[in-house]
Structure 1
């Protein structure tokens, strides 16, 4: 039971003193260690760095040195590899062989406590999404060449799937990888867009077309990026998480060894879809914590803000708004906890199949809940929620994804499914 007052909605129930069937002593120990580290090395300056649109390089180095990029990988962790690299425990709180998906969830939740997606995304996206295809499907020689530097953070990677003309339509990716006459290399031509972390990455796990049209023509390759011949990259200004390094990549006759193939030719679509499960669940957890940050900030504000002779919280309409969002938030968190628990109880292959579609729904629902909580916070903060400084600064940062600001020149979120990624870049603001 917490010994200090907890602002309503500011913590998940298990941290607010309520019983839970999911968390064992190892999880609680990990949460305390994780919060201490993340608070010191990320959260204290997260808003400042996000405003500056860049997280300093030394922050990535601090996380890598402490092994605090590894928890973003899907659980169970690659224990054999980690022990080979001298990594036996994380923060002296949990052994790598004991780390399960509940530990993963706690880590993601703690990383998102800034209420911002950019700072944590700048650190973890490459490890979380780019490394797993190599771990799961790469052969021994591929793993030996790349995993030692990637798992220790000496080199960075990303996942490169999306293209300007093929966003969610993964099966119609057009970036080609054609073998040279001697069969020793692929020549890659095409473009990738909205690639998080790409600008800093030495490598990418990239979806390419090695065969005919449709999903059976797709494969995945480890493609060198930063400074590699034929590769040019530029950062994209986006409406959210700009500090995560969203990147546009052009590939012009990029020569990559055939031994960089991940798994088998023609299996890329399967690898991509399996990888999506972890990506989606990660986003669902992080977005749910962002909802919590927004709603807790609103709750704290209305408890102290007075209007019409009494605190705002005493206005029935205010309590109604908060209660509605609180119900959405706690329902979403309960769903996330349920998913994560199921991940700990099912074999990985079974979970990929049984939970795949539901995980996509959980991610989508997390976005809906975040939108509701952010709108509620902006409404209750009033003018302070529109000010890029002071007590409403964090809430203002969520303006881009609400319909509370028709005068802000930002696309209404209802347009985003139509525009896709093109609904996000700042260049598209009117």
Structure 2
């Protein structure tokens, strides 16, 4: 007999004991290890830390010491580098070489189980999005200089792309990096805005303009931040994800060694786009769990809250709201699982082409789903859902984070348009190839 029964929508189907074709024994062991460690070291205090606006520094160190920052990297993991720094195994007995996108999805889902993106994001964003370009494109000497400390969590990094005048329109980035007269340094000038965890980071993987206007003039540069001459940083007050350390960075004649160029000049846009797919899928996974937390909290509430002589769940209009939101939620999760499974079976280059547009669409849809579930939760909690403390606290906070899903990583309208353009491009390319093969 089951030890407990979950509130409807509180867990994805496979964690409710329903059959799934996706998860192996390795994934199941990993999920249990994640829930134990993350529950104890993050989720238990996430609401409190979110209220204070800061996750204590010791939490990052605890995650680093237990190899629990690494799982936010895209799969497969950089096995050679991890073993080089002495990291062979993750909690739950998962070997670094067996870690796949399903493991990553489980980790991301568990990191969001408080319903809030900020606490988990304050730990993982730099690892998840700032390190991969170094692994994929940096020179061996640059990797050897920086990767050991970054992979072991001894130093922190962020991804710095967005600017006051260039968000989803990455090609119009204006921060410049011009070579010094002696050719030994890039001199960086400009500003970066809405940079998650920037305030705590020693380095940034930064998009800069080294050439002409447009995407062909962009490059990636590893830029020193904390304490570096010419760098000024301040935290921004944002509506949600307040523990994420959202930062405004100003760069005034910042000297960066030319050796800190990541890959080749002019290839920055290509590098950025390959990184975006991982970022958008991670956002979709986390947002779907946030939606789940909001809706299940509301479900638990309406089962006990009475009005007009009966519980709210006995009111048809309440059941109707939950049903519509629940259908969106479970459909979105099924799509996310399908994506993640496909990532375990496809090579990176193939997935970037075939799934790029659909990943953008999945990310956009995640924003639509969390908006619906959070809004339904707030409405069903009533006044409690409009109050920052008490029974509806979690629904109120998740609702504040909705736009933190719909805007970062590519704003919703841009993602919807990008998805269709990408699908059209793939169709036209395949049609032309099919035509040539018949000639």
* TM norm structure 2: 0.91
Question: Using a 3 Å threshold, how does the CA distance of structure 1 residues 313 and 33 change in structure 2: closer, same or farther?
Answer: same
2:176 maps to which residue?
Answer: 176
- Equivalent residue of 1:206, what SS? strand
Alpha-carbon distance in structure 2 between the residues aligned to 1:350 and 1:235: 38
How many angstroms does 1:396 deviate by? 1.6
Alpha-carbon distance in structure 2 between the residues aligned to 1:417 and 1:217: 23
How many angstroms does 1:393 deviate by? 1.2
Alpha-carbon distance in structure 2 between the residues aligned to 1:402 and 1:188: 34
Question: Using a 3 Å threshold, how does the CA distance of structure 1 residues 125 and 363 change in structure 2: closer, same or farther?
Answer: same
- Equivalent residue of 2:391, what SS? helix
How many angstroms does 1:362 deviate by? 0.5
Alpha-carbon distance in structure 2 between the residues aligned to 1:418 and 1:278: 16
How many angstroms does 1:161 deviate by? 0.3
* TM norm structure 1: 0.93
- Equivalent residue of 1:390, what SS? coil
2:284 maps to which residue?
Answer: 284
Contact 2:122 2:244 in 1 (8 A): yes
How many angstroms does 1:294 deviate by? 0.2
2:80 maps to which residue?
Answer: 80
Alpha-carbon distance in structure 2 between the residues aligned to 1:92 and 1:320: 41
Pairing of 1:115-194 with structure 2 (within 5 A): 115-194=115-194
Alpha-carbon distance in structure 2 between the residues aligned to 1:88 and 1:203: 26
2:425 maps to which residue?
Answer: none
Alpha-carbon distance in structure 2 between the residues aligned to 1:221 and 1:402: 31
For each residue in 1:97-128, what CA deviation from the matched residue of structure 2 results, as whole angstroms up to 9, or x when unmatched? 00000000000000000000100000000000
1:242 maps to which residue?
Answer: 242
Which segment is superposed worse, 89-98 or 113-122? 89-98
Gaps of at least 5 residues in structure 1 are: 404-411, 421-430
Contact 2:157 2:201 in 1 (8 A): yes
Question: Using a 3 Å threshold, how does the CA distance of structure 1 residues 11 and 2 change in structure 2: closer, same or farther?
Answer: farther
Could you list the runs of 4 or more consecutive aligned residues of structure 1 that deviate by over 4 angstroms after TM superposition? Answer: 416-420
Is 1:302 paired with 2:302?
yes
Alpha-carbon distance in structure 1 between the residues aligned to 2:100 and 2:337: 13
How many angstroms does 1:93 deviate by? 2.5
Alpha-carbon distance in structure 1 between the residues aligned to 2:413 and 2:328: 27
Question: Using a 3 Å threshold, how does the CA distance of structure 1 residues 387 and 5 change in structure 2: closer, same or farther?
Answer: same
Alpha-carbon distance in structure 1 between the residues aligned to 2:411 and 2:98: 40
Gaps of at least 5 residues in structure 2 are: 415-439
Alpha-carbon distance in structure 1 between the residues aligned to 2:202 and 2:93: 31
2:253 maps to which residue?
Answer: 253
- Equivalent residue of 2:233, what SS? strand
Contact 2:371 2:399 in 1 (8 A): no
- Equivalent residue of 1:279, what SS? helix
Pairing of 1:368-379 with structure 2 (within 5 A): 368-379=368-379
Alpha-carbon distance in structure 1 between the residues aligned to 2:396 and 2:130: 31
Question: Using a 3 Å threshold, how does the CA distance of structure 1 residues 100 and 401 change in structure 2: closer, same or farther?
Answer: closer
Question: Using a 3 Å threshold, how does the CA distance of structure 1 residues 192 and 33 change in structure 2: closer, same or farther?
Answer: same
